[in-house]
């Protein structure tokens, strides 16, 4: 496999942001090589949704890799802590929420760089967003740029003068802007999953931070969210 500047790795969770990010990469002319990480998250249904999204987007390749972060814990998404519900905008933007998974994005990006070396991609598309999740330290632009530097020093391609770049096209967009961009790109929103605490059937709770932010985004964008919620 020869190094291809139009080949990109996409960290695809199956959520709204990563799916729109994948569609943006495709519109930029890249062949999509998607990587999904099953890390022991309570909302493991997103892995199933990621498979469906990858199929709908007709990606070149989709790999699912397992990493056990439950063994480390420290998060409501990988442990037994309750997922926060019914929080207002003020509460959601104060401090680091319990849904933060320790070092998750460092781990995910490390795996993405490994995959990029294997498929010889020069770009990694990452659905980070700091407007809605200002409390997550691993969604900040300074983190992304610093990680690029680390990867340049610690990968074969980087030391050979062919570094891989991280692109975060949604970083500074509001959720409504992300939704509008997704509609422009014909994103299959009905296949996506955003809820942190779905029921056993995978139905979104409608009350966790992620559900509230998603629902507000669709409402502000003036379009209907096609996924069902336990709370109308």
What percentage of the chain carries pLDDT values higher than 90?
88
Which tens digit of pLDDT belongs to each residue from 184-220? 999 999 999 999 999 999 999 999 999 999 999 999 9
Q: How confident is the model at residue 1 (pLDDT cuts 50, 70, 90)?
A: very low
Q: What is the side-by-side strand order in the sheet with 4-11?
A: 61-66, 31-38, 4-11, 121-125, 165-167
Integer CA distances (angstroms), 194 to 2, 116, 122, 130, in order: 36, 26, 28, 16
Q: Would you call 90 helix, strand, or coil by DSSP?
A: helix
For tokens 């199956």, name the residue.
Answer: 14
Runs of H (alpha helix) within 36-85: 45-57
**188 vs 26: CA distance, rounded Å:** 14
Per-residue b or e along 7-42, where b marks 16 or more CB atoms closer than 10 Å to that residue's CB: bbbbbbbbbbbbbbbbbbbbeeebebbbbbbbbbbb
| Residue closest to 138 by CA, chosen among 164, 104, 115, 162 | 104
pLDDT, residue 133, reads 61
Full-model pTM: 0.94
H or E element, residue 123: strand 121-125
Which tens digit of pLDDT belongs to each residue from 52-74? 999 999 999 999 999 999 999 99
* pLDDT at 109 exceeding the cut of 80: yes
DSSP bridge partners of 166? 124
pLDDT, residue 136, reads 84
In order of their start, the domains of the chain are: 4-221 (3.40.50.620)
H or E element, residue 146: helix 141-154
């Amino acid at each position: 496999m020869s190094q291809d500047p139009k080949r990109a790795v996409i960290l695809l969770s199956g959520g709204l942001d990563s799916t729109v990010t994948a569609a943006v990469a495709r519109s930029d002319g890249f062949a999509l090589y998607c990587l999904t990480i099953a890390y022991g998250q309570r909302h493991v249904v997103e892995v199933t949704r990621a498979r469906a999204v990858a199929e709908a987007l007709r990606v070149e390749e989709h790999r699912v890799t397992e990493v056990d972060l439950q063994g480390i814990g420290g998060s409501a998404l990988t442990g037994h802590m309750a997922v926060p519900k019914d929080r207002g905008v003020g509460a959601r933007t104060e401090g680091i929420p319990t849904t933060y998974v320790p070092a998750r994005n460092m781990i995910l990006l490390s795996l993405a760089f490994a995959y990029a070396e294997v498929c010889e991609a020069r770009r990694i598309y990452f659905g980070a967003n700091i407007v809605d999740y200002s409390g997550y330290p691993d969604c900040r632009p300074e983190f992304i740029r610093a990680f690029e530097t680390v990867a340049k020093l610690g990968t074969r391609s980087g030391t050979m003068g062919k570094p891989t770049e991280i692109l975060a096209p949604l970083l500074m967009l509001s959720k409504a802007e992300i939704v509008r961009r997704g509609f422009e790109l014909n994103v299959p929103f009905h296949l996506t999953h955003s809820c942190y605490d779905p029921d056993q059937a995978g139905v979104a709770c409608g009350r966790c931070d992620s559900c509230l932010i998603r629902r507000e985004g669709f409402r502000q964008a003036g379009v209907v969210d096609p996924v069902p919620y336990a709370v109308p």
